[in-house]
A and B are shown apart, each in its own frame.
Chain A
């Protein structure tokens, strides 16, 4: 298929663009296979380059022969294009519609994008499982790297290499896999060096209504417990939801079969509920005419903040079990690809200082989201303005980022990165020139040959020129576990994402610049003082030598 077939009108002159906080621009609108471009052909005004993949939905209106297209983007921005001529407008609208809803992954922009920078470090190779296993090996010899899922036949959504208890052979793993939803048997997620406790993740056990059990599954998770120690199973669903799952063949671990484990149920919502929550929240944020009462009631009704609170609370619980109770933890929900990953990744941010560095955070996303098989392509197919029938879209990753932002805000000195990195990840998860978030699991990415045919997001982010934008000037490495407050009054609306296009950030940006300035000035002074101290010390030794000679 050629893109040209979809582009009915490649360019229109005299189009007026309205964007939040920017002067209106009149210019020429061009449609290419992947971009909507508006340029006034003057140097003074910034051009608009919008990826079709970023377009969530469009609306058109006509007043006489003047057509207007409202373009609502996945990054929550809303722009307006006034197009003279009804036919042109209709053509543009239907072309955008077609180009922004291409079904085939291989037609996506990352396959066509050629970087304008030299790739120094290939992001596709930056975080390989073998490397993280080396780190683990340096701390403990209780674990091994299994190739049982080499051809993705045991568990299609898992990577080919998995960290499992040393004493459990591949045959047992196969049996355990057959007892877990989607073959997602318990694997290592995190090893807490301080007390050798671990966090594992899996999908729900397939106990069904007649209470099936699986000795290998029991043996597998018991292998992670020290003698006489108990562990916690954190089921991210309420007990009622978990009970209902039995009817569909799922279920939860029965106490009788897992006597060394205590099960705790939490109430993280399922993905379709989360999508509804996002739509309502963004709707509330975008209506500036709300009275105070109406705004607060809409914010409450969206349940977004409740979702943030529940996810963070569950992550804190997991971290608490490990660090304070000295117990190992197994986390799962239903499929083990959504709420489970929110919890395991946030718990690591709380527990592990390494995850609060840029590299460590990238590695965490790679490990706990991409390789762990969060279906990015399905979940991020549509964002808050989707008006079609919901399929499997859900802001699972965005909620994770929101929770990270909450912790970052409470511990502004404990993270090497700043809010910009989180916002950037949100944007790229939904629409990107990079291939990182394409596909739903490692197997799919392999088939798409992403690492050969597309550029990794990390190749770009980790360039020193780009990194600078994401560095937190207040960062002071902090080796402690950080316990965020989950009290409602401690959790705020993430304005950087949800009010980003609704209010100017000029004053806040100035404040940020001032902060950077204060810290840079301090560093400069420190350097000067240090060099003078060295000079002084040198002069003194010289003095002394002269004196000694005398």
Chain B
């Protein structure tokens, strides 16, 4: 076992880039074409351009997502869409949702002096919802937009949807307050902000092409609102 690990160390120490290349060997440089066409989706180097952001860029984009009525997000990220933001916002959301949801049920049970058990399914459920939403909806939208000849880059769509979920983090944190009306208000506001963000940024892009833009934009808006409602219902409906 020691020898295998040492050999593996040498193998992977050749170049950090090449760890997922199928047949080993060191690549001379990252600028050269690597492997045949479809293998490239499995290399790290294929995704590096989407992580070419600094901390200040990410913070700018996060702040931008909190102001839905500007509509300038897509312009700013058109040349350098990143996947770091969407992925880690989703992951943070999963953690925040699971922990807040758990905390809420804990408080509710303790207030009524009932037994409480930790529900591990919250984590898996929220992971499925968030990752699924950010992956599937942009894909479908990409296909639809292509069909209506207003193509948008797929990564830009992922980026847009990922950052649109950022506003849910503070909303979830605020929803700890055990007032039902307050929770609905928070959910509504967050859902509205998020949906407007997506809708306005998309509208700016597809306004020029096709006549069905209004339908598409409205559909997107409603979908985002539905996500907010689903979250509120599942995480904060406590039956004790």
Are A and B bound to each other? no
Which residues of A line the B interface, CB within 8 A?
none
Residues of B within 8 A of A (CB): none
